[in-house]
Chains A and B, each alone.
Chain A
Amino acid sequence: DAGVTQSPTHLIKTRGQQVTLRCSPKSGHDTVSWYQQALGQGPQFIFQYYEEEERQRGNFPDRFSGHQFPNYSSELNVNALLLGDSALYLCASSLDGGATDTQYFGPGTRLTVL
């Protein structure tokens, strides 16, 4: 049973560049949520995708956008990168309408912006 996978593992970019992060949900899950975790902080909710649409969004600027594909995988795009975007980006998957709303995390992508 494949868990949540994310790619790449690490990424280094410079200010102003754009980045795309990828996530494949756990087998059987259809909902993907993205989180940003700065050093020493808890994960902060960016947005959630279900049925290829953004269902909920946290307090992040429009530079952060996403997409979900028919196979439930998802991308997170960040434009005009700032130094403050350096963080661990986590993808979590869940099953809509499942018995619980538990979310399971992937290994994360460590983004460094120079």
Chain B
Amino acid sequence: QKEVEQNSGPLSVPEGAIASLNCTYSDRGSQSFFWYRQYSGKSPELIMFIYSNGDKEDGRFTAQLNKASQYVSLLIRDSQPSDSATYLCAVSRGSSASKIIFGSGTRLSIRP
């Protein structure tokens, strides 16, 4: 079992719709959860982090965390073509010394 699992996609969503990206993790000691966006040939760019159960909203992005189910999700509202990228879910144990474990990413394609 992979430590962080994501559906590789591609996930195709029409422009203006809501894109929903999901991630599960195996380490129950995980405390910090991150979503990174990575355009082809570029490095990962942090979109959001979440530490507490529930929802966290930032603009068009909402991260959702359910520690009991070991599940993290990212919702992108009003999807734009510029949102087309690979989205990486990552988790850590929460201390500054912790390593971050990444999933393999979900490719998202926003179709006009």
Chain B window 48-92, contacts with chain A (Cβ cutoff 8 Å), 1 for yes, 0 for no: 010100000000000000000000000000000000000010101
Nearest chain B residue, comparing its CB with the CB of A45: B99
Chain B interface category by residue count? 20 to 34
Tell me which of B90, B96, B100 contacts A97 (CB under 8 A): B96
Q: Counting CB contacts under 8 A, is A71 at the interface?
A: no
- Are the C-beta atoms of B100 and A33 separated by less than 8 Å? yes
Nearest chain A residue, comparing its CB with the CB of B99: A45
- Within the complex, the shortest CB–CB distance from B106 to chain A, in Å, comes to 10
Q: Counting CB contacts under 8 A, is B10 at the interface?
A: no
Please indicate the chain A residues that have their CB under 8 angstroms from the CB of B45 in the complex. Answer: 105
- Are the C-beta atoms of B49 and A102 separated by less than 8 Å? yes
Contacts A42-B4, A42-B88, A42-B104; is A104 near B99 (CB within 8 Å)? no
> What CA separation (Å) do A56 and B97 show in the bound complex?
7
- Within the complex, the shortest CB–CB distance from B24 to chain A, in Å, comes to 14
Chain B residues near A (Cβ < 8 Å):
4, 32, 34, 36, 42-46, 49, 51, 88, 90, 92, 94-105
